[in-house]
Structure 1
């Protein structure tokens, strides 16, 4: 008599924004490739964009399903869900003050590259209630071959991607609107504009109204889909610009909060046109700085970050699924999550 096959492992993918789908779907694919099962829980936008074959659970169903791990790109996770709590992040550190911080919800952080790993490991060594494993960013897996190959020549005419973050204090969209308007009527360059889904609707409407034969507005859920179509990104302090730098192509920024040699950063709209010209010329020292920066934030080019996340979870479970210290009580934040989800049952 043969022993019955072990039940497949369960992994819950947890999202609070639509962009969780783009980040976590590669993990879903890797989970299924292992013969395991993936399901989703959303407490914000995103569930309406799920497709056939993807499984959405309620709170009660999650608790009965007993996932081995809850994996999320959010900064918090319901503590009353079973399983190891794992954060994969929702983007790279763009210099905003809310990237390197710890809220006490997670057992394991899966970091994107050496720069983040060093910062989170230093905190882990001090507080002791979470572990850190460098895995790479799952969102990039399906695109890595496409975005990390040899640098293609600049198109004729060149194509520029304009993207801005949504926060008024970080966004340059209104400041650069007149320049984008003027340059988008010039046949030298073509433009694709895309914004964060939380962008001020009035700003979005203004840029959509600029559409002409030289400028189009893209509403892709995953901005990575646009990267192979363009030669240059213009932005401000958006984490998407770090993803774009992995292509090896230049980025022009306006008052970036953490400028460096990998960027062409300006602080006056009058500099915008000349900065674009310099970026399209691709000076060798700029391309070298981009390569070095890309290796620091995400050195992986194999498209296997999702598999590394699952391996990190296996390793954490194998060593007892415990850290040196218990997580903080976090009562106020836990109460806020219960209120948002509407669950008041046992933890």
Structure 2
């Protein structure tokens, strides 16, 4: 099976890497597609990769794995949506853009919604597999324990607080938490790691870096894959970000500000000034622990570390039964959008 790993943003690397490992183990040919804006962040330069759509045409793929919203309709291959997050409440998560033949969903919450949309549109299929980015939870959850111990020792702290806000201007808490974090850091027990979304406003990134330059117990992380920091952190602070669900699946407490979810299974508040008290309460009382099981059951009930394997084998079986579609039939406006992003067929 010849496969394209299709990346438009650097967060796609951590989602597709487990699939790449499965493809390698099975001896399947694959090629990465990356855009110029993320070339400098691409970590797999020894692999077959390209920045050219013409190379993808020549590759003549059987399947294209896409953790994003668009893929050229004119490329050969089963176009597979594997998603870039777990935040179903965000605008656009359940929008059908008609670029994909197959949706591989993370858990029942997503599967049920997409099956409803399948009945409406009748031009794609839905299969639940779990999400490959979280395979490490089932395989090597303690991978970064030594690094965590080292960080805490260097800062003479006891707990890691991870702050990971969304980038959306309407939803982000970044403009409001610098002063509350200063209060948090008056407690020597806390080390704060800040992990920004790649699309976060550069001005706010620089503001937090300037803040971090004045205190050794706050670090603005530069690494692209947030999984490392989720595994190391003891508590997460955020707003309306899909990373919340990734952290809850580790059975650890979450604090958010002004989250827009319809159902909230963690500590959400409006008052940024309460951050210090909220961290203390959630670390040592954790009164939302029982509610986290709902997230596990509905969003991602897989802890075997085999979601990437399920995805690859599901796609292989689907192609064996249905064949490889050569082109995706989409509207004129959709074709124009794809042409404007990736060029004409």
Scaled by the length of structure 2, what TM-score is found? 0.89
Who is 2:148 aligned against? none
For 1:176 and 1:50, the matched residues in 2 are separated by 32
Q: 2:57 aligns with which of 36, 56, 63?
A: 63
Q: Which residue does 2:175 correspond to in 1?
A: 174
Give the conservation status (yes or no) of the 8 Å contact 1:14–1:71: yes
- Paired residues in the alignment total 329
Q: What is the match of residue 83 of structure 1?
A: 77
Structure 2: stretches of 5+ with no match in the other structure: 144-151
Match of 1:51 among 44, 54, 69: 44
Residue range with higher mean Cα deviation, 176-185 or 75-84: 176-185
Partner of 2:131: 137
Write out aligned runs for 1:112-131 (5 A).
112-131=106-125
Q: 1:94 to 1:181 in 2, by over 3 A?
A: farther
Which residue does the alignment assign to 2:146? none
Equivalence for 1:93: 87
CA change 1:339–1:260 in 2 (3 A) is: closer
Relative to structure 1, is the Cα distance of residues 282 and 114 closer, same or farther in structure 2, using a 3 angstrom cutoff?
farther
Query: After superposition, what is the alpha-carbon deviation per residue over 1:252-281, rounded to whole angstroms, capped at 9, x for unaligned?
Result: 000000164521001012322222122102
**Matched ranges for 1:330-341 at <5 A:** 330-341=331-342
Please report the RMSD computed on the Cα atoms of aligned residues, expressed in angstroms.
Answer: 2.2
Tell me, yes or no, if the aligned pair for 1:72 and 1:86 is still in contact at 8 Å: yes
Match of 1:228 among 222, 227, 231: 231
Alignment of 1:181-220 (within 5 A): 181-211=182-212, 212-220=215-223
Distance in structure 2 (CA, Å) of the matches to 1:145 and 1:59: 35
Cα gap change, 1:31/1:322 in structure 2, threshold over 3 Å: closer, same or farther? closer
Structure-1-length-normalised TM-score: 0.89
Match of 2:288 among 286, 289, 311: 286
Q: Deviations over 1:87-139 (max 9, x none)?
A: 10001125212211110010000001111011001111221100001011111
1:5 match:
none
Which residue of structure 2 aligns with residue 13 of structure 1?
A: 5
Structure 1 segment 246-325 matched on structure 2, within 5 A = 246-258=249-261, 260-283=263-286, 285-321=287-323
Distance across 2 between alignment mates of 1:327 and 1:125: 18
State the Cα deviation string for residues 140-187 of structure 1 (Å, max 9, x = none).
2234334499xxxxx962210011111110101112221012322431
Distance change in 2, residues 1:204/1:182 (3 Å):
same
Tell me, what secondary structure is at the counterpart of 2:177? Answer: helix
Unaligned runs of 5+ in 1: 1-8, 150-154
